[in-house]
Amino acid sequence: MKLNLSLQDDVQSPDLILKRAPLKKAIEMTLRHVDVQSDCEIGIACVDHEESHRLNLEYRGKDKSTNVLSFPSDFPEDILPLLDARPLGDLVICIPVVLQEAIDQKKAAYDHFMHMLVHGTLHLLGYDHEISEEDAEEMEALEIEILAKLGLANPYLEQD
């Protein structure tokens, strides 16, 4: 399985240095963990409050910025065999929200960003924590397992 990654990091912060290789590794780890074997492509856009707010309002009807938005690809199934790589979709990650949440939750900004990356990738694959408690538990368990493989702590444990 190969991953084509498009990264648009218009919003940067000295508190969160993002490098392409670890992001790609986290996404590949997520895909392998849930047994995706085909070549894939994914886009990531790092945005500010205003862009996140606009997209969240337009696509989810929520009048605020949010940490991560997932836009799964809507290519018809009959077209996919003709493509070199399966387009998974796009993630939009709001850097200011991620940084503030990391402070509020007493987590390292990088660790929280990686959690949002794994979380968003699972959404692109069809996982959804808002459907039922059982679905939420399944998604959280996957996130914990994947993050552990990346050497990151369980994001759902309370930090001191």
Please name which of 75, 76, 85, 53 lies closest in space to residue 66, comparing C-alpha atoms: 53
CATH (domain of 51): 3.40.390.30
156 assigned to some structural domain: no
Work out the average pLDDT over 68-81. 81
d(CA 146, CA 158): 19
Is 79 within a domain?
A: yes
- Give the number of C-alpha atoms closer than 13 A to the C-alpha of residue 145, restricted to the C-beta side: 13
Residue 65 structural domain:
1-148
Known binding site for Zn(2+): residues?
119, 123, 129
Q: For the ranges 8-12, 31-35, 113-117, which has the lowest average pLDDT?
A: 8-12
Angle in degrees, CA 147, 152, 155, rounded to 5: 75
Answer yes or no: are the C-beta atoms of 41 and 5 closer than 8 Å.
Answer: yes
Binding residues: 119, 123, 129
Task: Report yes or no on 160 lying in a domain.
Answer: no
Residue 130, pLDDT > 80, answer no
Evaluate if residue 77 carries a pLDDT over 90: no
List phi, psi (to 5°) of 159. Answer: -95, 145
